[in-house]
Chains A and B, each alone.
Chain A
Amino acid sequence: MRNKISFITLLGIVLLFCPAIQAAESANDVLKETKALYKKAAKLQGAWVTTGKLIKKSEAALKKGSKAKALTLAKKARSEARMSIAQAEEQARKWAEPAYIER
């Protein structure tokens, strides 16, 4: 019983501090969140081409096992997706024809 508890504790510590496992989980989570954000941006007609490319690159890196790279790319994509949503929402309220049009 004591051995079992020791093993589980040890496993927990390993999992907690193993950067590779941590990165893999995080990259997947970030990618999942980013994809949802990207979909929302597209629905608002405001998605950016570069975000889609970053998502693909991140997925490719993940497949190759470059977990840290995948995470960096996914985070960049998430940041872009958030900015594109903010832009689309702002433009929905603020779009206007150019001020130099004379009426």
Chain B
Amino acid sequence: MKRIFIIVLALMTSHIIAPIVWAGPSEDLVAYQKYFKNKFPDLSAVDLSNGMYNFNQDKREQWEEIMSFPPYEIAIDNGKALFTTPFKNGKTYASCFKNGGVAIAHTYPRFDKKHGKVITLAAVLNECRVKNSEKPLQYLKGKLAAILAYMADTSRGKPISVNVPDDPAALAAYKDGKRIYFTRRGPRAFACYHCHWEAAGSRIRGNELSTAVGQATHFPTYRSKWGGMGTIQRRYKGCMKNIGAKPLKQQTEAMNNLEYFHTFLSNGIPMNAPGTRF
């Protein structure tokens, strides 16, 4: 009788405690992607990578017109030229990557066990330059964004595969990115999820809001507003400014952790970068 009582008590306790205990990134992913699947049952995972153009037919048509001659093509060509041009020491970027840097962009950002932190593809490119006695490039736009555009293009169609290994530091980085994502900031007390989860598909002024899942698939992207290419962290900074929060600095631990969590949300969705946005 005592045994039965203990078993029943254990079952009851596990039922109460289970929802409070954090299950882990893979369980998060299932729950988060399910939310968007339920909210937009007519949109496939691939559709989600088309962002705001899922929600406005007129803009969708304009975007498709633009895509017949994508403005990012120049960046891909420039990026390829930069990527393949040898440094002064004769080496190239390819020497710093597995597979010569081809078809790897969809696996970034990565957790670097050696340094115990998240590294972005942009940071690895600059590390590669420094390693080869070259000056680092400016983050967010310009030449670095062009190289990223070329590298992303070699991953086009491959599912985003950001890995969060079972490592305490990696899990901490993931959780930190998650914290930043769900933290209300700025005078309007907005968090990322306010616009891109519950308000996804609705409008803020003249713009339809894209879904959080799928966003990371099309970066770097050519934005008409920018008149050029920009990285995902450039977009984060713009978003943060929009909600009135002082943007986090690019390539800081916080910003990289945010990119880690945010890109992880799109795991399994084919890379569609570089992309074009208004």
A and B associate in one complex:
yes
Q: Does A17 reach chain B (CB closer than 8 Å)?
A: no
The residue among B178, B185, B193, B241 with the most chain A CB atoms within 10 A of its own CB is B185
Partner pick for B183 among A84, A91, A100, CB 8 A cutoff: A91
**With A45-B185, A47-B245 given, can you name 12 additional A-B contacts, CB distance below 8 Å?**
A46-B245, A48-B246, A49-B245, A49-B246, A80-B187, A87-B185, A95-B182, A95-B184, A97-B193, A101-B32, A102-B34, A103-B27
List residues of chain B with CB under 8 Å of any chain A CB: 19, 23, 27, 31-32, 34-35, 178-180, 182-187, 189, 191, 193, 197-198, 241, 244-246, 248, 254
A87 in contact with B246 (CB, 8 Å): no
Partner pick for B244 among A45, A49, A96, A101, CB 8 A cutoff: A49
The residue among B27, B179, B193 with the most chain A CB atoms within 10 A of its own CB is B179
B246 in contact with A42 (CB, 8 Å): yes
Number of A interface residues in the complex (CB < 8 A): 25
CA–CA, A5 to B32, complex, Å? 77
A100 in contact with B245 (CB, 8 Å): no
- A residues near B31, Cβ cutoff 8 Å: 101-103
CA–CA, A42 to B244, complex, Å? 13
Mark contacts of A33-73 with chain B using CB atoms, 8 A cut-off: 1 yes-contact digit, 0 otherwise. 00000000110011111111000000000000000000000
B185 in contact with A46 (CB, 8 Å): yes
In the complex, residue of chain A having the shortest beta-carbon distance to the beta carbon of B249: A42
Known: A45-B248, A48-B187, A49-B186. A97 touches B178 (CB 8 A): yes
4 A-B pairs with least C-beta separation: A47-B246, A95-B183, A91-B183, A95-B182
- A residues near B254, Cβ cutoff 8 Å: 45
CA–CA, A51 to B187, complex, Å? 10
